[in-house]
Amino acid sequence: MGEQKSLLEVSDLRVSYGRIEAVRTLSLKVGAGEFVGVIGSNGAGKSSTMRAIAGSVPPSGGRIEFKGADVTSLPSYEKVARGIAMVPEGRMIFGNQTVRDNLLLGAYTRIGHDKAGVAEDMERALSLFPRLRERLEQLGASLSGGEQQMLAIARGLLSRPKLLVIDELSLGLAPKIIEQIFPILIDLNRQGLAVLLVEQMASYALAVTQRTYVMENGSILLEGPSQELATDRRVLDAYLGRRH
Amino acid sequence: MKPHHQFWLILILGFAGLYLFRELGPTNYAIGVLTRCMILAIVAVGLNLLIGQAGLVSLGQAALYGIGAYVAAWLTLRADVPFLPAVVSGVVAAGLMGAALAYPSVRVRGVYLAVITIAFGLVFQNVLVEWVPVTGGTLGLTGIPRGEVFGVRLTRQIYFWVAAGSLAASFNIVYALTYSRYGRAMRATAQSENAASALGIDVARTRMFAFVVSASLAGLAGALYTFLNLFVNYETFTFFQSVSFLLMVIFGGIGTLLGPLVGAGILTYVPELFQDFREWQVFFYGAMLAAVMFLMPRGIVGTISKLAVWLTARPQTRDAKPWPSPAALPVTMVGGHVEGTVVAEIKRFTIRFGGLTAVNEASMSIKAGTVHGLIGPNGAGKSSLLNLMSGFYQPTSGTMQFLGAPTAGIASSHLARRGLARTFQNTELFGDMTVLENVLVGLHCQYKATLAETILRLPRFFTEERAMVGEATQLLELVGLTDYADELARNLPFGHQRRLEIARALALRPKLLLLDEPAAGLTHGEIEQLKELVQTLTAQGIAVVLVEHHVDMVMSLSHEVTVLDYGQVIASGEPAAVQYDPKVIEAYFGTGDLLVPASENERPPVVAGSA
């Protein structure tokens, strides 16, 4: 990635829940416009790291910088305002509100002073995901799993983020849907959006991202260009399950 | 500190304190106030079971307290019933009233029970005023004689110990229920109704039981109040008194053992202290309540014990053990049905939601010892079909036979007890219970010890509890989670939560296991382990229905695969045949141009180089 100035810089992050320490001394970077993946087994601390970056759990140590400013313990609504949007694990759409309202809630931080911008972004999100346009007045809960994931991404985009954090994109999605969503993310990334993607299906993550972190036991085990990691023996053994 | 240590410590220190108090030679007035405090504490202890365990709120405890008081008073005055039978009648009357109130309202969670109990409290007070021949109207019932037990007259001095003994007994009942399968079932229904009924727990009955216990204890307290005060009057049993009971529980710490006792103490003594402030009394009282809640949001005992845990906790990491370990399979699950016999037969299942037909004439036949794969696009009706099979939905038309008997109209909890277990697409664990407790809830229906044996802590309770903990531990070992046994389930990583859900479902000792996307969120290595686990289960004759998007897993495990699209079966048969069916490729697999998931038998990912 060259010596690009980092958009997101996480150093020595720690996250604990009660007696469990989920993340210990983790450091990672995401450059502006970069597409970065995080893979690793369950319990490695991937989701906890994403939640700390998005501000939904407070870190117990370390530092998170975004656009050069310390955002370590900012609440998530302020992080959204600064440009970090989260597509949470399990999608977490508002099931008893319409698709339109879900999208408008994504723009909550700026809807008061940027009506025109929101309308424009809404239009852009709906042309990315035409399925959502068909279902605009339907309740979120009535969408299928794939449509809900599209809605969660579109909702994230409506805050006009610089960094989109996605926790488990493929979770519970049929192969055909996954094939529809990934190209859209790649496109968004080409247009300049930085994406940090946690993905359990390592083959997907390695295929679409530029750089990948491999997490194990709460810290980074390996890091490198995705193409190289995809042929790394350790990664093949643990995450791709290919014999060689 | 372990709960039974807490229990005995509270009991011993409590009685020591009461003894000391009496040794100090208190005035009659002081003895009366403390007696009243202990009587109120009985109501609070009972209400704590309802709120802290079953997660239901009652705002009508004062009326149930009043029923106990008036029934005891009326029987004594008008029918010369002696003390003990009068008190027992008060308890029974309040318990029955509780059952009648709970029956229509506990099916639905939320505010319903609270609203019904408020309404009941208001009606009750009005009846007390208007039904003059029985209740004595605004004057109430006066001239109640002091009680007598076995020839001993219950003077104020002696009655103090009667109240103390009754409080200790009530405290014991609530403690014994809380730390047994009954309490676990209550907590389970409070945290996930779906999961509780999928484990064979009758949600409505469990809630009703909790309410009847708390109502009976309120009745006991009411009857005891009658023989302390020697007259009863409608002014005691107001809505404000109900709120005050609720505050005792919240203030002391919901769900804690000591909390309601502390709460009752504070709400009895603080108003006494503020009496000098006259018209400002209520103001100071309210201000103090607000201040304490602000500083101690979990109540006094709750906040302090939370703080103690926080101070003594040190971060540690836990590791999941390799799994599955088939050697850990509990003996209760070894053997079972002969492979090939039909466990479940579904004929033309259909369900419509409004205009949408989620499942349309789907038929399947599921055999013992086999895996039946169920795949299809998102929204094809796979989860709806699982909900139909497990009794969470009733079909619009169509039938199912499970182990030779029709399932029409049978509740999910009953199907679970017959041996139909399931997991949920978005895991439904009891998040605020430990990992071990989650599995113990799954074993709920295997318990044989009676309610009396549980409350009295007779030997069978202990031997059975030990055996169940043993079986639950084995199940945790099977899925490699023994290290996490005493961790709260919500603190587990997502993939481990899936494993725990399977272990919990296996606690039902099922004949048929429905797995709803068990591999979602698992890494490749973990999926391999999950496959091994499923094979271990089918080897014991368990039939497995597997809904999953990891196609390789479905194809390599399944003996038969059914493909759904728009609620209809579009293909069914052996995996190989289904996989290359053009209709299935069109509806489900997509072109495969962009990416192909990692697998042994398919093309490698685009960038990964070939194997």
DSSP of B440-488: HHHTGGG----HHHHHTT-HHHHHHHHHHHHHHHHHHHHTT-GGGTTSB
Q: What is the mean pLDDT of residues B580-584?
A: 85
Per the CB < 8 A criterion, the answer to whether B373 and B558 are in contact is: yes
Tens-place pLDDT, residues A128-163: 999 999 999 999 988 888 899 999 999 999 999 999
Q: Which of B47, B67, B60 shows the shortest CA–CA distance to B120?
A: B60
Residue B50 has pLDDT above 80, yes or no: yes
What is the block-wise mean pLDDT of chain A (244 residues), using blocks of 10 residues?
73 85 91 94 88 93 95 93 91 92 92 89 94 92 88 94 93 87 93 94 90 92 92 79 48
pLDDT at residue B591 in the model: 61
Q: Do B523 and A176 touch (CB under 8 A)?
A: no
Would you report the helix, strand and coil content of chain B in percent, each value rounded to 5? 60, 10, 30
How much is the pLDDT for B602? 38
Flag whether pLDDT at B444 surpasses 80: yes
Residue whose entry in the numeric block shows the structure tokens 């007390």: B128
Q: How far does the CA of residue B494 sit from the closest CA of chain A (Å)? A: 7
Task: Of B519, B529, B501, give the one whose Cα is nearest residue B597.
Answer: B519
Residue B60 has pLDDT above 60, yes or no: yes
Model's pTM, two decimal places? 0.87
Give domain limits for chain B: 3-239, 326-429+504-589
Task: Determine the pLDDT at residue B282.
Answer: 76
* B507 Cβ contact list (under 8 Å, min separation 6): B199, B439, B440, B441, B442, B443, B446, B471, B472, B475
Of A182, A207, A239, the CB nearest to B523: A239
Contacts of B587 in chain A (CB under 8 A): 176
Within 10 angstroms of residue B341's Cβ, the number of other Cβ atoms is: 13
DSSP SS3 for B404: coil
Q: Please report, rounded to a whole number, the percentage of residues in chain B having pLDDT higher than 90.
A: 69
Identify the pLDDT of residue A167: 93
Q: Which residues is A63 bridged to in the sheet?
A: A11
Residues from chain A that touch B487, judged by Cβ atoms under 8 A, are 18-20
Of residues B41 and B586, more confidently modeled: B41
Say what the pLDDT of residue B312 is.
78
Kindly give the residue spans of alpha helices, DSSP state H, lying in chain A. Answer: 46-54, 76-82, 99-106, 115-128, 130-134, 145-157, 175-190, 202-208, 226-229, 233-235
Chain B residues touching A16 at Cβ < 8 A: 315
Residue with the bigger pLDDT between B520 and A84: it is: A84
* pLDDT score of A241: 60
Distance from CA of B318 to the nearest CA of A (A): 7
> Per residue in B498-508, is it b (16+ CB within 10 Å) or e — as a string?
bbbbbbbbbbb
Partner residue opposite B528 with nearest CB, options A20, A44, A241: A241
Q: Model confidence at B105, in pLDDT bands (50, 70, 90)?
A: confident
Average pLDDT over every residue of B85-101:
96
CA distance linking residue B449 with residue B442, whole number of Å: 16
**How far B492 CA lies from chain A's nearest CA (Å)?**
8
As a whole number, mean pLDDT of residues B38-47 equals 97
Of B313, B595, B598, the CB nearest to A242: B598
- In the prediction, which pLDDT does A1 show? 45
pLDDT at residue B113 greater than cutoff 70: yes
- Asked if residue B600 has pLDDT above 50, the reply is no
H-helix or E-strand spanning residue A62 = strand A61-66
pLDDT of B610 above 80: no
Residue B406 parent element (H or E): strand B405-406
pLDDT of B396: 94
Three-state DSSP class for A11? strand
Residue B322: band (very low, low, confident or very high) from pLDDT cuts 50, 70, 90: confident
Two tokens at B428?
A: 């439904």
Q: Considering chain B, what is the average pLDDT of its residues? A: 89
Residue B587 burial (CB count, 10 A) = 21
Read off the pLDDT of residues B450-471 as tens digits, 9 standing for 90 and up. 999 999 999 999 999 999 999 9
CATH number of this structure's domain B326-429+504-589: 3.40.50.300
B521 to A200: CB separation less than 8 angstroms, yes or no: yes
Shortest CA gap A170–chain B (Å): 8
Q: How many residues does chain B have?
A: 611
Which of A14, A49, A184, A203 would best serve as a mutation to test chain B binding (most B beta carbons within 10 A)?
A: A203
Unique residue bearing structure tokens 């009924």: B197
Q: How many CA atoms lie within 13 A of A101 on its CB side?
A: 11
- Flag if A230 and B605 touch (Cβ within 8 Å): yes
Task: Name the residue in chain B with its Cα closest to that of A229.
Answer: B608
Q: Could B377 and A168 be called an inter-chain contact, meaning their C-beta atoms sit closer than 8 Å?
A: no
- Sign of the Cα torsion B225, B228, B234, B240 reads negative
Q: What is the pLDDT of residue B597?
A: 40
Chain pair A-B, CB pairs under 8 angstroms: 167
